[in-house]
Structure 1
């Protein structure tokens, strides 16, 4: 296993690969946004072994004074909508080894710019294809994603009709891939760099989604405001959102209570 270690940030090498992106054939939870494409990833890349942690993000705030005096959005079950919740510092006050949450896509880019300049390396977010490739990692599931089922049985994500969990667990307490990458399933939603849209069935070599912001995001059969892909599922969502192929999105300015990110370096 080849790694890059930068202070307390570990990234693990993922080799070039061809894999079937999209839902398993008989997955009853799949939808029309998860259609199959045989994807070719032609270059190696390094993916952070965990989501960015509280400790790692707070270094950025201390060194730059970056904005952190705001309230994070949480889900109101009665109103069925996101509402202002705890402050950023409060919701991230559980400990250093928890994933940072309540950060927008814009915030993730500011962190990446800072880290890239500090270490003279080109950090990035993973593409949606890179994320799913790493999550599947020699997957032999036939009809349903076993990792999401394991999370359900362990009580680490919601069952279908349960009240949502209110906080994430620490990193490295859930799933791990054969390559040694943790928490690609069911910890927090994680930003990817792609704009969220229908898959382009002809875009099969190192796909990164639409080149420009689409007019809308296709969601629940409707046209919603556009945004970027988030992947991985969440402690607060039903278990089937943690499937390797599951897709979700958020607007770039959103600072939600169950969204963070992890780093990628492309070769």
Structure 2
């Protein structure tokens, strides 16, 4: 967490490092004692003894080890390739490790008296994975007893390649980009927990701010009343929210099961923060195992906003795919996906979908960003 670095041996720093008062005190005591022992010695001899002991004491102070300075050591961003199968199979060890890292980051933050930059956090909050374009089945099969009407009919969708954030947007990244903390819940530092309590409009503004920060054309034109502005998608160069189809494509990661890790609820603990294990609060991102494409927290922790208006799926020709759908042209609710720490595990399934008014915010609502392919 930190490393020790010795000060320079330059004269000025050496003088600063000497503990003078102990040297003077020791010299005085020994000098007086020597004078008493000498008995009849002259004052000149006593003074000479005092000076000699003082010089020796100062030399000892000089030769001692220099003062150590604690320098925060930046962590190497955690690479998804570092997580092997053994670690993925042990959810408790993985969660404990990440929780310990976050605790250490908070200690460094408090000791330094200032906020850490994104580069100093334990994760690379801006890391993205290039996802190849492809065709997949969106929704849930009729023969699954967990399938809901809103997830039917299952239909073929073709998605173009895009880049997806490895993690949901964190508190630390929000603070770095927006220049201030958000009203997240529970209160606390700008750390590796996902930002929450965010409505759809705030997510739009963050995407534009992140794009501008990196010299990219913002994807959205935002006009009108700040509480419920008009939002138009005008560019795909910068950062944006995923479409609902892109989100499910990224979550499934080439699978056709309830969760990206399979259908077995017994494996949920290693992959999902939900009502059963989250203790009613969001957790630092990256604690649970990634999906097959290296994306973390697609199941649980916080809900993730999508671009689309919420609407019923329409029956399509099963032999034909819909290309890059972006939802209905209008509506009253925007799509949320993924479930959260506050919900039951079955809600974190790949296909589960939910619609909320875009002005609404809740402490379980967050988001992640995507970009058009940056190859």
Q: The TM-score by the shorter chain falls in which range?
A: 0.7 to 0.9
**Post-superposition shift, 1:112?**
0.8
Pair 1:157–1:201, CA change in 2 (3 A): same
Partner of 1:251: 357
CA distance, structure 2, for counterparts of residue 142 and residue 192 of structure 1: 20
Q: Residues 22-44 of structure 1: CA distance to partner in whole angstroms, max 9, x if unpaired?
A: 11343212111111011111x21
SS in 1 for 2:136: strand
Partner of 2:209: 114
Partner of 2:255: 139
Counterparts of 1:38-49 in structure 2 under 5 Å? 38-41=156-159, 43-49=160-166
2:365 matched to 1:209?
no
SS in 1 for 2:149: coil
SS in 2 for 1:146: coil
Partner of 1:125: 241
Larger strand fraction of residues:
1
CA distance, structure 2, for counterparts of residue 172 and residue 132 of structure 1: 19
Larger helix fraction of residues:
2
CA distance, structure 1, for counterparts of residue 328 and residue 207 of structure 2: 21
CA distance, structure 2, for counterparts of residue 142 and residue 185 of structure 1: 11
CA distance, structure 2, for counterparts of residue 144 and residue 107 of structure 1: 29
Q: Residues 88-122 of structure 1: CA distance to partner in whole angstroms, max 9, x if unpaired?
A: 25525165110000011010011111111111231
CA distance, structure 2, for counterparts of residue 166 and residue 113 of structure 1: 31
The answer to whether the 8 A contact 1:232-1:246 is kept is: yes
Larger Rg: 2
The answer to whether the 8 A contact 2:258-2:351 is kept is: no
2:358 matched to 1:263?
no
**Post-superposition shift, 1:154?**
7.4
Q: Residues 74-98 of structure 1: CA distance to partner in whole angstroms, max 9, x if unpaired?
A: xxxxxxxxxxxxxx25525165110
The answer to whether the 8 A contact 2:207-2:239 is kept is: yes
Root-mean-square deviation (CA, aligned residues, Å) is 2.8
Aligned residues: 225
**Post-superposition shift, 1:157?**
1.7
Counterparts of 1:161-176 in structure 2 under 5 Å? 165-176=279-290
CA distance, structure 2, for counterparts of residue 154 and residue 244 of structure 1: 13
Pair 1:44–1:153, CA change in 2 (3 A): closer
Pair 1:11–1:210, CA change in 2 (3 A): same
**Post-superposition shift, 1:145?**
7.0
CA distance, structure 1, for counterparts of residue 207 and residue 260 of structure 2: 34
2:205 matched to 1:102?
no
SS in 1 for 2:355: strand
Partner of 2:340: 234
Structure 2 unmatched runs, 5+: 1-78, 80-117, 217-237
Partner of 2:224: none
CA distance, structure 1, for counterparts of residue 259 and residue 338 of structure 2: 19
Instruction: Out of 136-145 and 165-174, give the one that drifted further.
Output: 136-145
Partner of 1:189: 303
TM-score (norm 1): 0.76
Structure 1 unmatched runs, 5+: 69-87, 215-225
Higher relative contact order (CA 8 A, sep 6+): 1
The answer to whether the 8 A contact 2:253-2:260 is kept is: no
CA distance, structure 2, for counterparts of residue 245 and residue 148 of structure 1: 16
